[in-house]
Amino acid sequence: MKTLKESVLMRWLMLVLISGLTFATYWAQDFMGGLKGLLMNDYGFSSSDFGQVVGMTTWANMIGMIIVGGIMLDKWGIRIAGLVFGGLAALGSTVVYLASTGLFGDDPSVKLWAMGIGRMMFGSGLEVVCVVATRTIVKWFKGYEMALAMAINVGFGRLGTAMGIAVSPDIAGSSGVATSIGFAASLLGLALIMFVVYLYFDVRFDKQQKAVNEKTEEEFKFSYLLKLLQNKPFIYITLLCVSFYAAYFPFIQYASDLLTNKFGFTSEIDIPPTKTAMIYIVLFAFVICFSVIPANLKNKTSKLTVQFVVVAGFIAFIYSFRDLFAIWLNNGQKTTSLIPLGTIVFTPIFGNFIDRRGKAASLMILGSLLLIFSHLVLSLSDNIIMAYIGLFTLGISFSLIPAAMWPSVAKIVPENRLGTAYSSIFTVQNWGLGLFYWGIGSLLDKVNADRLDAEGKLLEGQVYDYTVPVLVLVLCGVVSIFLSLKLKQADKKAGYGLEEPNIKE
């Protein structure tokens, strides 16, 4: 009997359905990066306040909420955990929206804490939803295109980040900040509907597995968590996740402000949100066609033909919108959004390479080196060309490491412990993110103290100096290289196969 996951079409359809949650949660997590100036002007927030609001997504997870969610995932299964924690994320985003409208009060301090509580609720669901998505991909793609599928799922998340940063200022500019926040909450509601559709197929797949006597998952035991803590490669990959993500996600929240203050990019742009969204969706479609279709063709000539046609279409599309992209490349929010857009392009390519050729541990080392280079350029150089190079390099770096890291966890940890494993990684990651979200904002205020008034706002004619805050992120890259080398050494000794391809020819 042929199961659903043996069908190429069904595997990828399930990926699209589950990736709706990934897209929506990443949008809701990162869209405020494009609203920093508006939040400060309209709500009276300082840079430190802004860092506190975006950073509160990590608070509940810092005390173990993700581990609790991961254990629940391993005990309850994908279906219940996805509904519970996806619903929690949507509820939290709704609270943020209601707080932004002044429902709980218009005083800046009241809005700050009410929005922060909503962000904390959202964050409690966010990371477990990411674990659910990753765990689902392992379920449907193990033995097939697992790294490519994870890379595509990451691509959906980066698309959410890119569009959130780029489109949210346009929505806020025409309808107000609260409308932009409400739009993020609405996306989560739509994603939950997509997940409910997925559940129908998941139930059918589980019945088929039982019918063909495939091995079912073992019941979760709390001793699994202790065994994870004794697994050195797992510890290395967890700390690598912390050091690398701490140098990326907090930076993204401040990047548009950095480009505006340091390199003189514009902070406003008059482009309809629908046009911006359409461009991102079309670009993502090119990426999917370039990565997924050739990967499922056996004839080499057919693969090359498809890739040539897609690349030619991509170049023609870019050329037709050359005037628009010229405007984008002078705008802080739009240029920042091109960083995750770059990861959308390259993550599936690297994922497909790892599926076919392996070298996951080596690519993590390369990604860490590129991370150091990008932050050095952005902190020490005032040249706008070097700024573009630094941003492009950062996009490549953040394509390499996730494409290599997440499939590697599935090789190190047994499948029945993956929920707990991924949630443990995200818990430790949130400690790093929480520290850096708040720390970058506080450090920014401290090193610019002579440029701020008593309320923490810039004095007239002054701009923020980001040199020291961004230079601190270089240290994260140094730590990432060390951990990547240790992981490669551990793999060579234990034989997990991190350097081996996922698809055996």
What is the secondary structure of 200-229 as a DSSP string? HHHHHHHHHHHHTTPPPPPPP-THHHHHHH
Token digits of residue 63: 């005390």
What pLDDT score does 24 carry? Answer: 94
- Tell me what percent of the residues of the chain surpass a pLDDT of 90: 15
**Whose structure tokens read 């020291």?**
468
Identify the residue with better confidence: 280 or 65. 280
Nearest to 377 by CA among 249, 259, 256: 259
Nearest to 474 by CA among 161, 238, 248: 248
Cα 503 to Cα 243: distance, rounded to the nearest angstrom: 29
Q: Which residues of 145-184 are buried (b: 16+ CB within 10 A; e: fewer)?
A: bbbbbbbbbbbbbbbbbbbbbbbbbbbbbeeebbbbbbbb
* Three-state SS letters, 273-339: HHHHHHHHHHHHHHHHHHHHHHHCCCCHHHHHHHHHHHHHHHHHHHHHCHHHHHHHCCEHHHHHHHH
Q: How many residues make up the chain in this entry?
A: 505
- Read off the pLDDT band of 216 (50, 70, 90): very low
- Sign, CA torsion 421/423/427/433: positive
Q: Cα angle at 328 between 327 and 332, to 5 degrees? A: 120
Contact residues for 504 (Cβ-Cβ < 8 A; gap 6+): none
What pLDDT score does 366 carry? Answer: 92
How does pLDDT run across 126-183, given as a tens digit for each residue?
A: 878 888 888 898 888 877 778 788 888 888 887 888 788 778 888 887 678 888 999 9
Residues 50-70 have a mean pLDDT of: 72
Token digits of residue 232: 């050195």
Nearest to 411 by CA among 131, 218, 147, 154: 147
Residues 473-499 have a mean pLDDT of: 89
Cα 431 to Cα 483: distance, rounded to the nearest angstrom: 18
Q: What are phi and psi of 176, to 5 degrees?
A: 105, 155
**Whose structure tokens read 């394509």?**
399
What pLDDT score does 437 carry? Answer: 77
CATH superfamily of 7-494: MFS general substrate transporter like domains (1.20.1250.20)
Nearest to 14 by CA among 89, 82, 71: 82
Contact 232, 490 (CB under 8 A): yes
Decide if pLDDT at 91 tops 50.
yes
Residues 307-321 have a mean pLDDT of: 88
* Three-state SS letters, 120-139: HHHHHHHHHHHHHHHHHHHH
Token digits of residue 170: 């346009």
Decide if pLDDT at 11 tops 70.
yes
Please provide the average confidence, as pLDDT, over all residues in the chain. Answer: 82
Decide if pLDDT at 245 tops 80.
yes
Decide if pLDDT at 217 tops 70.
no
Contact residues for 161 (Cβ-Cβ < 8 A; gap 6+): 26, 27, 29, 30, 252, 337, 340
C-alpha to C-alpha distances, 497 to 191, 358, 491, nearest whole angstrom: 35, 8, 7
Contact residues for 295 (Cβ-Cβ < 8 A; gap 6+): 145, 148, 352, 355
- pTM for the model stands at 0.69
Contact residues for 19 (Cβ-Cβ < 8 A; gap 6+): 133, 152, 153, 156, 157
Cα pseudo-dihedral 261, 262, 265, 269, rounded to 10: -30
